[in-house]
Amino acid sequence: MEVVLAIEMVLYFLFIIGIGLIFSRKKMGRSEFLLGGKKLPGWALAFSERATSESSWLLLGFTGFTFLTGLSAIWTIVGMVLGISFTWLVLAKKFMIETDKHKVLTLTDYLAARFPNHGVYIRIFATALILIFFIFYVGAQYDGIGKTFFTIFNLTPTAGVIISTIVVIAIAFSGGFISVVWTDMIQSIMMLIVLGGMPIIALIHILTHDISIIHEMQAAGNGVDTWTGGVTGFAFGLLFFNNFSYFFGYLGGQPQLSARFMALRSEKDAKVASITGIVWTLIAFFGAFFIGIMAIALYNINDFADEEVILPTMILDLTPSWIAGILISGIIAAMITTATSQIMVVTSSISEDLMNKSFKIQLSETKWVLISRIVIIITGLLALLMAVVSKSLVLTVVGWAWAGVGSTLSVAVLLTFFWKRYSGIGVIATIISGLVGTLIWINSPLDDIISARFSTFFIALFFGVTFSLLFPEKRHEEGKGDEAPN
């Protein structure tokens, strides 16, 4: 069985690396390498955005979380579906219009272009925010792949991490944003096959073996058979807000996701992408939820030292080896696609936001692409180091990044789009307070009570509004104050 699995995964890796190599043969400028040059169809960007967003945390972290907590995990889905739907229906077209208007390539550069008096400082602080949390975020994807390889082949997690690092760097290095989007699309389909197919396979097994899901959930205890997690009153309020709090990170503040909105070509593409993205979300999220519920009926939590390996374990137990190889490849696809996209965010932050726009370094288009590729290698290796030394669960690490980057920059995006009194000083205050607030919160007992994803959003909102009122913006004429990309 292991031989079949290994052959299928090697073929899959070669296939997606091959896609990257195809695009590496094409001559690309900075705009094409970092944002696709407005040449990608909306449906492909939607598949890419969804695959990029829902990584190891969904297939490993959330399925394990549902297996551990039961029906109350549904409130996490409610928050995420509402946040994703709002972003696609309200913010995506706005991102596209603002990108064309200000001629920018990154979310950070857009914020800087809107507030040119403080553009340099916005780029520096936003880049620092992204670097601090995204190195860990990429490391979480590596860690997820390491767990998957350990479950399947009994390889050490470190070996799996090294393999994933090589594949991720190869894809991002070769073809940049365009390569990442097309490999994302394929991997997004793979993820749908896993998340849509496994609940059906598990349910058939449960029915044919006369297993009662309700009985097994009641026997598991700990409130897994209730929508409230077995608690009431204030305790349920905390449970609800902690699970729901992913909502705040989906409101335009994830740079790897907003890049897909910025790359949209037209309103027609935006409409097609919105429908694609929302339908994908409903299938994938409820599929992940039901996988966790089915696992409660099939397994005992005490049999697992790490609940985040429940999905690969279920695949190996319930499917023949040739199907298992395809489904396991889908799990690994989720982690690879997110890691490559996040590395591209770090790369664009350093090469475009800092070196080009803030420090005004003058280089040819070819040299800018070379610099970007060097940054990709360095970032990938740093994330490798983080994955090897970190002992935290995938879901925990992703939650930190969701708070530090997603919740913080969501505030900046929403206020920039919808509040005319928002100022450059307000943006800086938003970023600094979100960064400091998250670091303090996740290293204190407070995070065990209320998630940093929730607290960071309102901390950043408070300081962003307060400092905007104290230091109002001296408006420049729209579109002036920053240089446009060459």
Q: For the segment 238-285, what is each residue's pLDDT rounded down to a tens digit?
A: 899 888 988 988 898 888 888 889 989 899 999 999 999 999 999 999
Hunting for tokens 């397994």 — which residue is that?
Answer: 299
Hunting for tokens 């770090």 — which residue is that?
Answer: 346
* Residue 85 or residue 382, greater confidence: 85
Q: pLDDT grade, residue 165 (50/70/90)?
A: confident
Residue type, 122: I
pLDDT at 328: 82
**pLDDT(341) > 70:** yes
DSSP 264: -
pLDDT at 205: 95
Give mean pLDDT, residues 185-205.
Answer: 90
**pLDDT(486) > 50:** no
| Spatial contact of 401 and 249, defined as CB atoms under 8 Å apart | no
* Residue 244 or residue 180, greater confidence: 244
How many helical (H) and strand (E) elements, i.e. helices and strands, does the chain have? 21, 0
C-alpha to C-alpha distance for 241 and 450, rounded to whole angstroms: 8
**pLDDT(51) > 70:** yes
**pLDDT(430) > 90:** yes
Q: pLDDT grade, residue 71 (50/70/90)?
A: very high
Q: pLDDT grade, residue 81 (50/70/90)?
A: very high
pLDDT at 402: 82
**pLDDT(82) > 90:** yes
C-alpha to C-alpha distance for 395 and 457, rounded to whole angstroms: 19
**pLDDT(142) > 70:** yes
pLDDT at 418: 95
Give mean pLDDT, residues 422-439.
Answer: 96
Least confident segment among 122-131, 158-167, 304-313: 158-167
Q: What percent of the chain has pLDDT over 70?
A: 90
The dihedral sign for the CA sequence 293, 295, 299, 301: negative
CATH domain 2-395 topology: Sodium/glucose cotransporter (1.20.1730)
Q: What percent of the chain has pLDDT over 90?
A: 39
C-alpha to C-alpha distance for 404 and 434, rounded to whole angstroms: 6
Question: Which of 144, 201, 195 is CA-nearest to residue 332?
Answer: 144
**pLDDT(170) > 70:** yes
* Residue 33 or residue 114, greater confidence: 114
- Per domain, the residue ranges of the chain are 2-395
C-alpha to C-alpha distance for 60 and 62, rounded to whole angstroms: 6
pLDDT at 479: 44
pLDDT at 35: 63
Determine the straight-line distance between the first and last CA of the chain, rounded to whole angstroms: 53
**pLDDT(480) > 60:** no
Give mean pLDDT, residues 109-115.
Answer: 92
3-state secondary structure of 104: coil
C-alpha to C-alpha distance for 419 and 417, rounded to whole angstroms: 6
pLDDT at 410: 95
Q: Give the pLDDT confidence of 8-48 residue by residue, as tens digits.
A: 777 877 777 677 667 655 656 666 666 666 778 999 999 98
